[in-house]
Amino acid sequence: MDPEICNEACLICMGLILVLSIFIGFEVISKVPSRLHTPLMSGSNAISGITLVGAVIAAGSAWDTMSLVLGTLAVAFATVNVVGGYVVTDRMLRMFQKKPGEGKE
Amino acid sequence: MNYILLINGTYIVAAVLFIYGLKLLTSPATARKGNLVSAVGMFLAVSATLLNEEIIDFRWLLIGIAVGGVIGALFARIVKMTQMPEMVALFNGFGGIASLLVGWGAYHVMPLAGLFVMTTVFLAVLIGGVTFSGSLVAWGKLSEILPGRPMLFKGQTLLNGILLVAVLVGGSLFLSDPEGGYPVFLGIILLSLALGILVVIPIGGADMPVVISLLNSYSGIAACAAGLAISNNILIVSGALVGASGIILTNVMCKAMNRSLYNVLFGGFGAVTKGSEADVEGEVKPISAQDTYFILEAASAVAFVPGYGMAVSQAQHVLKELGDILEERGVEVSYAIHPVAGRMPGHMNVLLAEADVPYEKLIEMEQINRRIANIDVCVIVGANDIVNPAAREDTGSSIYGMPIIEVDRAKTVIVLKRSMSPGFAGIDNRLFYKENTRMLFGDAKESLGGIIAEFKGA
């Protein structure tokens, strides 16, 4: 996990992960119907908040004020993305799921 | 217990949950579950990360999570469905700045991490910075804090080019000497922020669906670069998924406007011409709510064509009420959805879903065009460019060639519109002058309310 000990094999491995993820992404997401494109967007927004994982490590391992500030800010922004993204997507998808006769939220 | 193994194992589970969640999003019936699955994946990934032995102090990161969580939850609860484009734009920006900060932090902690890591740090900061400032501009335009029209000035392309070259030169300077390159690094951050602003400023409101999709993709690519910088697989996988999603949406939006991405980004759409107004023939024929009622009452097939104006006046609920009244009278009612109607992909679908319109009634552009000649009345609710026949007829128009909902081929067209002002793209709409077009002026919500009142009074 430490970049300093990351050797060539590790780089190739990350490259492989990257390429395969891109392929899977295209394959899966091209099947999402256009009527769900807004929830797809806000949902993938939440997923891009995964930076939170990196931010948490940065904030927790900070050794001076500067890195602590950078890490904490990153954590806060990424969490807004994660929480806000999932909650608002759920709100939208609930409407798509609504059965006739059910009241408004 | 080896935590590194546990953490990375959990990341694999999280990646599977993200992908499975996206897969469930391919059908409205399972989509909500998919979002939940994805959220569980995120929870697992973040929880596992807390076991990382590099983390020695939990205080500030927990404060960050608490603050961000409260803000995010509040945002998500109070935002109106009509404001979704603004919210997504803002969140794209937050994703971008988070990646920038993570990249910055990685550099700050170990400026000697080697060429590969520094290259990815550079990319994370550059893409993250462009995403952040670009998204803020997009957000400003969508929420009308900034003017929605394209802002162009002389030498803009040249300036963008110079900035881009400066970023690349700065990047190679930085990479040749990362340790002593802190000032250069800060310069790169500033340049990337400036670049984001300048790239989005010349893009008009009608092109916002493309811009939001593209920035969505960038926020994923930035996360991906940050993941490479700190050798974190889950960031790489998730970033790539979001990047791919954004690119697909960008492509769909560009196709729907018959324009290339290059043209959207550098075309300065809408600021170029006012169209060939001279050869627009005919006159505008206003109509009252009462006469609209007579026309609708005699119709047997009605199609509503919603656009951004419906979102602005929050008319989706009244529209559905009118649709229900017509259906009770045996009228065949459908809602024609143009792919770029509104300000983001799928915008109209969300609003109509909010108003409880069953999705079988939402008809996509190609299908409605095939049978549009059999429709008695097309009611345009706050749409403009997506029904402008200039896209078919006027080779000089900036929207020429764009696929439109060909409402002018229906028997009668009723346009609900606030005034005669041109649409977001700034082009005059010759539909308003056609023989079979009637204009019902006023706020869309009030106009629809007026028609409903006529039905109820009759």
- List of E strands, B201-316: 301-306
Judging contacts by C-beta atoms under 8 Å, the chain A residues touching residue B99 are 51
| Token pair of A49 as six digits | 């908040």
Residues A45 and A93 occupy one common structural domain: yes
Residues A41 and A21 occupy one common structural domain: no
Task: Compute CA distances A53 → B8, B43, B124, B235, whole Å.
Answer: 12, 10, 15, 8
**A16: closest CA of chain B, how far (Å):** 10
In tens digits, what is the pLDDT along chain B, a chain of 458 residues? 578 899 999 999 999 999 999 999 999 889 999 999 999 999 999 999 999 988 888 999 999 999 999 999 999 999 998 889 999 999 999 999 999 999 999 999 888 888 889 999 999 999 999 999 999 999 999 988 888 777 777 788 788 889 999 999 999 999 998 888 899 999 999 999 999 999 898 887 778 888 999 999 999 999 999 999 998 999 999 999 999 999 999 999 888 888 888 877 776 544 444 444 445 667 788 899 899 999 998 999 999 999 988 988 889 999 999 999 999 999 999 999 998 888 888 899 999 999 999 888 999 998 999 999 999 999 999 888 889 888 888 887 777 888 999 999 999 999 998 877 665 555 678 888 888 999 999 888 999 999 999 998 87
B277-457 in CATH: which number?
3.40.50.1220
Domain that holds residue A21: 1-31
The reported pLDDT for the residue numbered B175 is: 92
- Side-chain half-sphere exposure of A82, counting CA atoms within 13 A: 31
Residue A14 in any domain: the answer is yes
Check CB contact under 8 Å for B245 and A41: yes
pLDDT surpassing 50 at residue A47? yes
Helix A37-48 vs helix A65-97: angle between axes, to the nearest 10 degrees? 160
The reported pLDDT for the residue numbered B278 is: 45
**A65: closest CA of chain B, how far (Å):** 11
Active site residues of B: 385
Residues A27 and A39 occupy one common structural domain: no
The reported pLDDT for the residue numbered B270 is: 44
ipTM entry: 0.90
Residues A9 and A49 occupy one common structural domain: no
Residue A104 in any domain: the answer is no
Rg (CA), chain A: 19
- A2 in contact with B at a CB cutoff of 8 Å? yes
Residues A22 and A59 occupy one common structural domain: no
Give how many domains chain A has, as a whole number: 2
Show Cβ contacts of residue B97 under 8 Å, excluding neighbours closer than 6 positions: A73, A74, A77, B128, B129, B131, B132
Sheet containing strand B332-337, edge to edge, reads B362-364, B332-337, B301-306, B377-381, B412-417, B437-441
What is the average pLDDT across A84-99? 88
- CB-nearest to A72 from B15, B60, B364 is B60
Check CB contact under 8 Å for B95 and A35: no
**A62: closest CA of chain B, how far (Å):** 8
Residues A17 and A54 occupy one common structural domain: no
The reported pLDDT for the residue numbered B271 is: 44
Helix A37-48 vs helix B347-354: angle between axes, to the nearest 10 degrees? 110
Quote the pTM value: 0.88
Closest CA to B386 of B352, B425, B412, B346: B425
Residues A50 and A11 occupy one common structural domain: no
Residues A25 and A51 occupy one common structural domain: no
Q: What would the DSSP string read from start to end of A51-87? A: HHHHHHHHHHT--SHHHHHHHHHHHHHHHHHHHHHHH
Judging contacts by C-beta atoms under 8 Å, the chain B residues touching residue A43 are 21-22, 25, 34-35, 38
Query: Where in chain B are the domains?
Result: 79-266, 277-457
| Residue predicted with more confidence, A77 or B400 | A77
Check CB contact under 8 Å for A49 and B45: no
Cα B305 from Cα B327, distance rounded (Å): 16
Residues A18 and A43 occupy one common structural domain: no
Cα B378 from Cα B415, distance rounded (Å): 8
Residue A72 in any domain: the answer is yes
The reported pLDDT for the residue numbered B423 is: 56
Judging contacts by C-beta atoms under 8 Å, the chain B residues touching residue A52 are 42, 46, 65, 98
Check CB contact under 8 Å for A54 and B246: no
Residue A68 in any domain: the answer is yes
The reported pLDDT for the residue numbered B2 is: 73
**A44: closest CA of chain B, how far (Å):** 5
Residues A89 and A45 occupy one common structural domain: yes
Closest CA to B57 of A60, A66, A57: A60
Check CB contact under 8 Å for B244 and A14: no
- CB-nearest to B237 from A17, A72, A74 is A17
- CB-nearest to A95 from B55, B56, B353 is B353
Cα B436 from Cα B114, distance rounded (Å): 69
Check CB contact under 8 Å for A75 and B65: yes
Q: What would the DSSP string read from start to end of B363-431? A: EEHHHHHHTGGG-SEEEEES--GGG-THHHH-TTSTTTT-----GGGSSEEEEEESSS---TT----GG
For B110-150, what is each residue's pLDDT tens digit?
A: 888 888 899 999 999 999 999 999 999 999 999 888 887 77
Check CB contact under 8 Å for B353 and A49: no
Judging contacts by C-beta atoms under 8 Å, the chain A residues touching residue B31 are 36, 39, 93, 96-97
